[in-house]
Structure 1
Amino acid sequence: MLYKLNLEHILFLDIETVPQKPSFSELDQDVQILWEQKSQYQRKDEITAEDFYDRAGIWAEFGKIICISVGYFVAKGATRNFRVTSFSGDEKSLLKQFKQLLQEHFNQAKHLLCAHNGKEFDFPYIARRMVIHGMNLPYKLDLFGKKPWEVPHLDTMELWKFGDYKHYTSLKLLAHILGIPSPKEDMDGSMVKDVFYKENDLDRIVDYCELDVITTAQVFLRLRNEELLSEEEIKKV
């Protein structure tokens, strides 16, 4: 099935998220209580809700999106290009820009969205944040009433599971075992919050997010047993 898909019909994406506030103490009291209740089963008894707040960006109810990076294939004759772009900064603004991209360029039945662990994280997170901001969901994120085979989402982690629902594989590990050259990263996901709130370096986060999009596309190519993208074929726009 993967071999039959047209690469130009797939939008690869990745998001970066952070907690709503720089620190637990900046939340109002009601939200602090709600966070304590939400996180009580994830943290160990000796870890307080305040100590655990660094992970709040994982939940759409307590976090926000600061970057959505996307990539898509463009073929001109025998030439293959992979174009990468990002929407970052104010969450409502970047969500509107991303929605516009979907509606104008990836809104047909043939179009698919692809992310690593996207079905568990990226796709529902974007949808929830759109609802919170009072935005109507674009067709590609509105799953109500759709049958499983009608959902226009691909997930490289799910593809690698081959039906094994217990198996989790990080993008970094999957890229390594598939022989995909590791990009030169100067950060990892655990650093995003501090880079955003303490270093105020959004550009660094955008670069990191775009590298993940490129790696996801490379993994997808390997799953199809196709030649990897060269640096010359990757264009940032």
Structure 2
Amino acid sequence: MLYKLNLEHVLFLDIETAPQHPDFANLDATVQELWTQKTQYQRKDEFTPEEFYERAGIWAEFGKIVCISVGYFVLKGDTRNFRVTSFYGTEEELLKSFKSLLLEHFNQTKHLLCAHNGKEFDFPYIARRMIINGINLPYKLDLFGKKPWEVPHLDTMELWKFGDYKHFTSLKLLAQVLGVPSPKEDMDGSMVRDVFYLEKDIDRIVSYCELDVITTAQVLLRLRNEVLLTDSEIKHI
């Protein structure tokens, strides 16, 4: 089935997230207590709630999206291009822009969203933050009442599991074992909070996010046993 998939019908995406506030001290007392309760099993006795707050971007209830990067294939005869673009700014603005892209260009049944670990993180995170921001969910993210085979989502990590639900494989590891060239990255996901709040370097975050989108597309090509994208085929728009 994967081999029959039309690549032009797939929107690849990745999100970068950060805590809603720079520091734990910026939260009101009620939210501080809710954060303490929410993370008690993850923290155990190793970290205080304040120390652990730098990881708040992982949870949609305490974090926010600072960048959504997307990519899609354009195939014309023997010519293949992969176009990449990003949405950033205020969270409400970037979510509305992303929703507009879905409604205007990826709104048909044939269209799919693809991300690495997307079913566990990116897709539900975007949906939750849309609801929190008062944005109606687009069809591609509204899963209520859908049967499993009706959900328009692809997950490269799930494809690699082959039914083994205990198996977590990072995008970086999967790219390595599949021979996907790893671009030189000057950051990782754990650094987004500091780059966003302390360095205030959104361009660096965007570049990192777009690299993950490109790598996800490359992984899907390898899963289909197809030739990888070359640098000349990748267009940043």
- The reply to whether TM is greater than 0.5 is yes
Q: CA deviation at 1:46?
A: 3.2
Q: Which residue of 2 aligns with 1:145?
A: 145
Unpaired segments ≥5 residues, structure 2: none
CA distance in 1, matches of 2:89, 2:16: 11
Matches within 5 A, 1:93-172: 93-172=93-172
SS at match of 1:164: coil
When normalised by structure 2's length, the TM-score is 0.99
Q: Which residue of 2 aligns with 1:180?
A: 180
Q: CA deviation at 1:44?
A: 2.2
How many equivalent pairs are there? 237
CA distance in 2, matches of 1:25, 1:74: 47
Q: CA deviation at 1:47?
A: 1.2
CA distance in 2, matches of 1:46, 1:123: 30
CA distance in 1, matches of 2:77, 2:194: 44
Q: Which residue of 2 aligns with 1:227?
A: 227
Q: Which residue of 1 aligns with 2:78?
A: 78
Q: Which residue of 2 aligns with 1:17?
A: 17
* Cα shift readout 1:134-168 (whole Å, capped 9, x = no counterpart): 11100000000000000000000000000000000
- Over 4 Å off, 4+ runs: none
CA distance in 1, matches of 2:224, 2:58: 30
Counterpart of 2:225 in structure 1: which amino acid?
N
Q: Which residue of 2 aligns with 1:31?
A: 31
Q: Which residue of 1 aligns with 2:59?
A: 59
CA distance in 2, matches of 1:182, 1:222: 14
When normalised by structure 1's length, the TM-score is 0.99
* Cα shift readout 1:169-223 (whole Å, capped 9, x = no counterpart): 0000000000011101111111110000000000000000000000000000000
CA distance in 2, matches of 1:183, 1:232: 15
* Distance of aligned partners of 1:186 and 1:46 in 2 relative to their CA distance in 1, 3 Å threshold: closer
CA distance in 1, matches of 2:46, 2:108: 50
Q: CA deviation at 1:112?
A: 0.1
Between the aligned residues of both structures, percent identity stands at 81
CA distance in 1, matches of 2:161, 2:148: 17
Q: CA deviation at 1:45?
A: 1.2
Q: Which residue of 1 aligns with 2:191?
A: 191
CA distance in 2, matches of 1:36, 1:30: 10
SS at match of 1:176: helix
CA distance in 1, matches of 2:73, 2:165: 30
Unpaired segments ≥5 residues, structure 1: none
RMSD between aligned alpha carbons?
0.5
Q: Which residue of 2 aligns with 1:3?
A: 3
CA distance in 2, matches of 1:141, 1:9: 16
SS at match of 2:193: helix
SS at match of 2:165: coil
CA distance in 2, matches of 1:230, 1:2: 22
SS at match of 1:73: strand
